[in-house]
Amino acid sequence: METIRRTKVVDLLQRRDFGAMVNVKGWVRTRRGSKQVSFIALNDGSTINNVQIVVDLAHFDEELLKQVTTGACLSVNGELAASIGSGQACEIQAREIEVLGACDNTYPLQKKGHTMEFLREIAHLRPRTNTFGAVFRIRHNMAIAIHRFFHEHGFFYFHTPIITASDCEGAGQMFQVTTMNLYDLKKDENGSIIYDSDFFGKQASLTVSGQLEGELAATALGAIYTFGPTFRAENSNTPRHLAEFWMVEPEVAFADLQELMDLEEEFIKYCVQWALDHCKDDLEFLNKMVDKGLIERLQKVVATDFVRLPYTEGIKILEEAVAQGHKFEFPVYWGCDLASEHERYLVEHHFQKPVIMTDYPKEIKAFYMKQNADGKTVQGTDVLFPQIGEIIGGSVREESYDKLMARITELNIPMKDMWWYLDTRKYGTCPHAGFGLGFERLLLFVTGMANIRDVIPFPRTPRNADF
Ligand code: 4AD
Ligand code: MG
């Protein structure tokens, strides 16, 4: 076969120099036609769109053509031609075809219309479907948007450790990391495991959040963000929870509650606008095939002001709803941790726009949140989104050493491994604030997909770590 430099399909579809000889490489999505001519839809992943290859069967070897089946990988040389029938402006009149990889009829993606559940079982192949191709191209674009947003706003990308000895959220949902022989653990007289001989000489785990280290960085570099994998051993089998997910955590020195909320809102809007600007073809596909209201919802979020609602006000609204006969599964009272039905009532029913809820009872929030003067609430913020529920959790941090220490003691948090965190409050403490955005929750919103397992390539959930 003649050597011609490969053109990606995304670039090829823009070209109008009809008559030029081109080469494309990709996977056969479909093949149809007659006894004389075949039409191959070839996709190389660079775009959701296929390029149509027109094959005059008389000019090709029969044995070769037998191998041009759904899923096969081809290299095609041919003439770029104007197209009338393919739905694209151009197509390729094939001159030479090489089968790089044949694909027999055991290939599971023969037919269209597989369920999401089935596709999850073949997560190694599902990126080759239109839907997952679109989702993963959008995922990439959202990562780029995140880095651009923070870079443009003067934040430094700071890498926090994946292995840690501290439980940031204090929720005890950590995966332990050890090199000890689990069949032969050394224990003391109380039956507690002795970690002296373990790799780190103490108990270590996968991080649930980079926040504590992020705070160290913010109190030195001013404004930072982390963006990396986080791990939670919570046994939540829901469409919103993963055991391994990616989190974006900015942390800003000198920011107060108002500035924190402004940052949260501006950041999400920037990311959504980025998708609208850079993922048009993929969004249009998802809008057509997955979620008819998707693009309109994205446009609406960019254009609306988020509601800012103190927790106490939110409880009043929910209590009124109950008084008027609305039925919730879980009880509503001041001090309760809002269930997702409560959050959804506020966001989807009452306000019909995103809500930033603030000033939660301290009992239901983490130890590091700044305590309000009322002695009851803390300056935590959750950003609640339609369909998703909580997309961001953040807070102003308690900067007073004494108040923080008092809270730590109150909650019996083991601080022996956290002296370094307290040092930020001891040496030149400063007001600061930050938040964590669940990357896959953002992707749920931006793609319209219904299950968080379908916006990450290889989901990890209870009893599932395949691929
Ligand atoms: O609300 P969370 O637990 O907050 C923190 O971890 C803080 N340390 C963040 C900070 O202030 N720097 O988690 C933050 C976000 C949630 O709002 C949610 O979007 C996402 O992380 N999240 C999950 N996403 C998928 N699966 C899970 N199991 C998640 N748990 C939290
Ligand atoms: Mg939270």
200-232 pLDDT tens trace = 999 999 999 999 999 999 999 999 999 999 999
pTM of the model: 0.97
Give the model's confidence band at 276: pLDDT under 50 very low, under 70 low, under 90 confident, else very high: very high
> Phi/psi at 223 (nearest 5 deg)?
-145, 125
CA–centroid distance, 139 to ligand 2, in Å, is 22
Tell me if 252 CB under 6 Å of ligand 1: no
Tell me if 360 CB under 6 Å of ligand 1: no
Its sign, for the CA torsion 138, 139, 144, 146, is positive
pLDDT above 90 (res 168): no
What would the mean pLDDT of 436-449 be, rounded to a whole number? 98
pLDDT above 90 (res 45): yes
What would the mean pLDDT of 229-242 be, rounded to a whole number? 94
pLDDT above 90 (res 425): yes
Could you tell me which residue, 416 or 27, shows the higher pLDDT? 27
Percent of the chain with pLDDT over 70: 100
Question: Atom 9 of ligand 1 has which residue's CA nearest to it?
Answer: 436
Helix axes 280-289, 294-303, angle to 10 degrees: 120
What would the mean pLDDT of 299-307 be, rounded to a whole number? 98
Question: Atom 7 of ligand 1 has which residue's CA nearest to it?
Answer: 436
Tell me if 249 CB under 6 Å of ligand 1: yes
Q: Are 32 and 39 in contact (CB under 8 A)?
A: yes
pLDDT above 80 (res 122): yes
pLDDT at 137: 98
> Phi/psi at 163 (nearest 5 deg)?
-100, 130
Tell me if 441 CB under 6 Å of ligand 1: yes
pLDDT above 80 (res 170): no
Residues 167, 227, 341, 260, Cα dihedral to 10°: 90
Give the model's confidence band at 281: pLDDT under 50 very low, under 70 low, under 90 confident, else very high: very high
What would the mean pLDDT of 62-70 be, rounded to a whole number? 97
Helix (H, G, I), strand (E, B) or coil at 344: helix
pLDDT at 85: 81
pLDDT at 169: 81
pLDDT above 90 (res 413): no
pLDDT above 80 (res 171): no
Give the model's confidence band at 417: pLDDT under 50 very low, under 70 low, under 90 confident, else very high: confident
CA–centroid distance, 465 to ligand 2, in Å, is 24
CA–centroid distance, 158 to ligand 2, in Å, is 22
What would the mean pLDDT of 387-406 be, rounded to a whole number? 96
Helix (H) or strand (E) holding 258: helix 257-278
Q: Are 231 and 207 in contact (CB under 8 A)?
A: yes
